[in-house]
Structure 1
């Protein structure tokens, strides 16, 4: 679903190999970078929600096989050995008896057992669809946490850069104030801004650690490597397909919707099985017996007995329990229908929202980039004007602040765009490892592709 014109190099090995290599070479793990694809593969093996979902799906498949077993022949063998003592008026005797039997029972017609198997098949499909939906949701959650971590690092470095720029201007205005060429209010305004940025720096540092812990929660290990950042040599483009096509895909392939459809099919099968309680059942029974015990365990010569029985069971009255069960199952089916409709509406809403947001994000990226270019020029002009006494220190302060706000807006717009593309693919049922790989090529793997450093380098 995502197409770009550049190729990416996958980071070789996992986190374990990175740590081993760093120990052998005496290099800190902080010198390595980790990208979204590597964290995705780790989370797929370590995220408890994903593991639990697939365990439930496997349990559903096993229950389907269990229900199938109820339709197949049931074979059982029995044996008994007895020591008997018989007291009579004339004598007392003791003797041993043996009895061996084997029985085969096969349903010929049993509506309840058949519909129970059909229900188990639908529940197994529901479990598989739910596991796929949990996996997709967890993937989007991982991407969101990844870009939140990037945004928190951006915020920290931008605060540092803005503080350095503001401190530099504060030093200039103090020098001018000492020569009585500036007002004390300018010094106080700039000092207040530096102090505010110092407090913001502390908060940004804490947020960095929090965002790293949120990533660690999903991958099951501390994430201390550098996070790969968005490259600057790619052009982000909105989905080329129309909204109607995306909605068509979502209604056909969304795993949450397929899960609810399977749940409705299971409810229908349960209802048919409940009605089957009114139907007769037909079964075949084959048995073979070898015994030397007669009536009342009397000693007898050994004999073999073979029988074939066709049994018919007709339910007549169960105290109204069967009818009550059918009514309850009909209510369950109605609830399943409404849940399916609710999910269908949610899929339409979320797909439409993600599609429109992704398209608007492209325009927001373009506008943010233009705003950043203008803000950079405005800052340069304000600083030169300040040197010539055309503008005051507050004007410079405002220009610097506007520039770094534009940098934050551009980075956030890029993160939001990528996240919305993943959300769109998630609701359309197309979120896969290939989708993550397509996003991953937009990341620079050396951890140094930081657009914000371009602004801070000139300071």
Structure 2
């Protein structure tokens, strides 16, 4: 978190600078005023219930479970019952009669050998596992997307608050220099330079406000409700560290646990089972059936005494020729199997690449954060030195404005480096197959809530009241 503290303004310019906390960048004051904030874990739980991508993936997984049960039903006995009741008018040249007859039957059929049905069931089991893994991958991908949008929203809040602070500081300086110009104690170029900067910051502030709304709309799309409450920010008492395991360890874990890769490997099993199912069309089928029938229907619907019959049947069906359609289907399924093998190899290479990129980026981001902290410290000192130099007539207002801009840029760069680091951790965990909730929980402890924001406000207020004496001005 950043603590905004306004340093004393030199009498000539009155430029305001921001002093950052030694460990973390500043948090926007506008978002700390609310009594309620939402953090990443809260939005994660909402997204699991509201994100259409996640819901659709899990519904497909549930559908696959039912389809597996459907395929298993083909292996079980098939029981059918039939009944018919007839009213018959029968007449000839000499007789005319009306009578009723009925028949009842019960049949049980069990497949003793049916390769097509068996392999279809094996394929359905692989599809169930594949859909479950795809649902896990969809959740992992959605979690990374949520984290990106969350920190994008924080970045938009930061940009707006920093622009507002810089504009207020520059406007204050403009007011003071304008008063001095009226007394012929400052040059018109100083006034014009400050005014141009204020106008530019005002224009940039308009765009920044729009970006805040746009970034919140991105979060709202995921959770299905407007996000109006402030977002929890990075605490100022934590140290961001690089992943402790080696890159080879991360890659090995990704190859073993990545749900996308596992889903595609299951897809290869599905393709193999589909080939075997297609070949089942060349195999004979063996069935056993039992039937029982009671009927008083005679030949040509004539009235007949009631009779009961019981039949046990073993049937064999041997396919001989189907016009070549079965062989063609098998060849097509085999080509599809080869295509899936290539897709699996492509996913393996992608997992290695994405894991490596995320690891290297996360490691370099830690060094970048450290460098940005040093750059911010240097920019703060440069800004203070420029103000002193202006007070003694060594530098002009342009030099001071340049130093102030450099300080605010250093603050933006530090915040962005922190957000990029955390986002890359999510990406690394996603490709390494770490459960999304564990990744969110590990990062969420870095985010502060309302109490931390209140402490930040108190610190900032105290900084405003403890001002050292202004520097003397040489006339």
TM-score, scaled relative to structure 1: 0.90
Indicate which of 217, 224, 230 corresponds to 2:228. Answer: 224
Match of 1:309 in 2: 313
How many Å apart are 1:87 and its aligned residue?
2.8
Indicate which of 448, 453, 470 corresponds to 1:448. Answer: 453
How many Å apart are 1:393 and its aligned residue?
1.1
Q: What residue ranges of structure 1 are gaps of 5+ in the alignment?
A: 1-27
Match of 1:328 in 2: 332
**2: CA distance, partners of 1:452 / 1:142:** 28
Whether 1:349 aligns to 2:353 is yes
**2: CA distance, partners of 1:391 / 1:196:** 22
- Alpha-carbon spacing, 1:351–1:452, altered in 2? closer, same or farther (3 Å): farther
Whether 1:398 aligns to 2:402 is yes
1:166-181 matched pairs, under 5 angstroms: 166-181=170-185
Q: What residue ranges of structure 2 are gaps of 5+ in the alignment?
A: 1-31, 468-475
- Alpha-carbon spacing, 1:454–1:325, altered in 2? closer, same or farther (3 Å): farther
How many Å apart are 1:88 and its aligned residue?
4.2
Contact 2:139 2:436 survives alignment (8 Å): no
Contact 1:149 1:211 survives alignment (8 Å): yes
**2: CA distance, partners of 1:60 / 1:78:** 32
Whether 1:276 aligns to 2:267 is no
Match of 1:201 in 2: 205
Indicate which of 240, 243, 253 corresponds to 1:236. Answer: 240
Runs of 4+ deviating beyond 6 Å? 449-457
**2: CA distance, partners of 1:282 / 1:353:** 56
Contact 2:115 2:280 survives alignment (8 Å): yes
Contact 1:29 1:224 survives alignment (8 Å): no
Match of 2:97 in 1: 93
Q: In structure 2, the residue corresponding to 1:95 is in which secondary structure?
A: strand
**1: CA distance, partners of 2:130 / 2:310:** 45
Contact 2:133 2:260 survives alignment (8 Å): yes
Contact 1:46 1:218 survives alignment (8 Å): yes
**1: CA distance, partners of 2:121 / 2:111:** 13
Q: In structure 1, the residue corresponding to 2:106 is in which secondary structure?
A: strand
**1: CA distance, partners of 2:142 / 2:311:** 59
- Alpha-carbon spacing, 1:322–1:450, altered in 2? closer, same or farther (3 Å): farther
- Alpha-carbon spacing, 1:366–1:395, altered in 2? closer, same or farther (3 Å): same
Please report the RMSD computed on the Cα atoms of aligned residues, expressed in angstroms. Answer: 2.1
Whether 1:363 aligns to 2:334 is no
Contact 1:231 1:449 survives alignment (8 Å): no
Report the more deviating stretch, 192-201 or 339-348: 339-348
TM-score, scaled relative to structure 2: 0.87
Report the more deviating stretch, 160-169 or 31-40: 160-169
- Alpha-carbon spacing, 1:453–1:351, altered in 2? closer, same or farther (3 Å): farther
Match of 1:377 in 2: 381
**2: CA distance, partners of 1:453 / 1:74:** 76
How many Å apart are 1:230 and its aligned residue?
0.4
